[in-house]
Amino acid sequence: MALITMRQAITDALREEMHRDERVFIMGEEVGVWGGTYAVTRGFYDEFGEKRVRDTPISEMAIGGVATGAAMGGLRPVAEFMTINFAFLALDAIINHAAKIHYMFGEQMRVPVVYRAPGGGGRQLGATHSHTPDVIFAHFPGLKVVSPSTPYDAKGLLKSAIRTDDPVLFIEHHTLYQIRGEVPTEEYVVPIGVSDIKRPGDAVTLVGYAQGLQVALEAAKQLATEGIEAEVVDLRSLRPLDMGPVLDSFRKTFRAVIVEEGYRTFGIGAEIAARLQEEGFDYMDAPVKRVAQLEAPLPYSRELEQSALINVDRVIAAVKEII
């Protein structure tokens, strides 16, 4: 096992898959000569050349359209959007074409494309660069949506995303590039659409993903000092959504708090809460609580931004309300 950052895990996954399959290529703004906005593809331009590491114009509509078309033509593009907010400009290519072509043409054509998109708040990038619109993309059948919370999952899930014949939106939280974790040095993949128990417990179920999962883990650590053992479930994938581990945990703890950085209204947490009510009602001893971002555009001011985002104290308070 190697102790590496999430950034390095993503870099390693891309490099290994490009060596494994010559159909894989990278495209996006500043991914080549500059090495990527978050330095994920640094050195790739010299290693693989301009044919397979392609700097594009500043046009997400073009990036999304060309990547989708290249995938239909037999290649396996990995298209990087500088932030997930800019992916709104490519919604037609992603949602209206890539996610539907396999279905509309009776399985005669596949679209093996990966759209990489950093997202979330916490880096003082202002209101238009700090969205967590994951639920918008996860709403549509045909598109797989993945958002890892650890270096191990980031590498394994990205390798799976590149190898699948379906379009995948791979969301990387801005603030998680520097977190470290153990990653095997040998070949491995993590299956898309499988949730994971990150911490066992029996008092309450905490459900999260990406930055929300990290907040949940820290809250569980602090709760344990008071004798409250929380079980933490990492969704990892938003579509397909694996509720199995969540329901298994809920049947053991009878209580749940969902931690998400997106907005509470119409959010991922609303879907999880509805599923718990529909499929686990007999085990429900308290209302399902949701901890989410405050419903306002994120401000540039660091203090104001942090006050709007999810945090450990809010999770602990929610847990204590239902215990």
The model's pLDDT over 36-74, given as tens digits with 9 standing for 90+, comes to: 989 999 999 999 999 999 999 999 999 999 999 999 999
Q: Which long-range contacts (CB under 8 A, 24 or more apart) does 298-304 make?
A: 298/121, 298/126, 298/127, 298/130, 299/126, 299/127, 300/124, 300/126, 300/127, 301/124, 302/124
Q: Considering the domain boundaries, does residue 154 fall inside one?
A: yes
Look at strands 230-234 and 196-199 and give their pairing. Answer: antiparallel
Helix axes 151-163, 6-20, angle to 10 degrees: 30
Percent of the chain with pLDDT over 70: 100
Which of the listed residues 149, 183, 217 is the one where a domain comes to its end? 183
Q: Is 285 helix (H, G, I), strand (E, B) or coil?
A: coil
Q: What share of the chain is helix, strand, coil (3-state, %, to 5)?
A: 40, 20, 40
CATH number of residue 128's parent domain: 3.40.50.970
Which of the listed residues 159, 183, 207 is the one where a domain comes to its end? 183
Neighbours of 100 (CB within 10 A): 16
Name the band, by pLDDT with cuts 50, 70 and 90, for residue 244. very high
Q: Considering the domain boundaries, does residue 190 fall inside one?
A: no
Look at strands 114-119 and 76-80 and give their pairing. Answer: parallel
Alpha helices in 105-209 (DSSP H): 134-138, 151-163
Between the two ends of the chain, the Cα-to-Cα distance in Å is: 38
Identify whether residues 54 and 110 lie together within a single domain.
yes
196: pLDDT strictly greater than 90: yes
Q: Considering the domain boundaries, does residue 189 fall inside one?
A: no
The model's pLDDT over 95-148, given as tens digits with 9 standing for 90+, comes to: 999 999 999 999 899 999 999 999 999 999 999 999 899 999 999 999 999 999
Positions annotated as catalytic residues are 60, 129
CATH number of residue 210's parent domain: 3.40.50.920
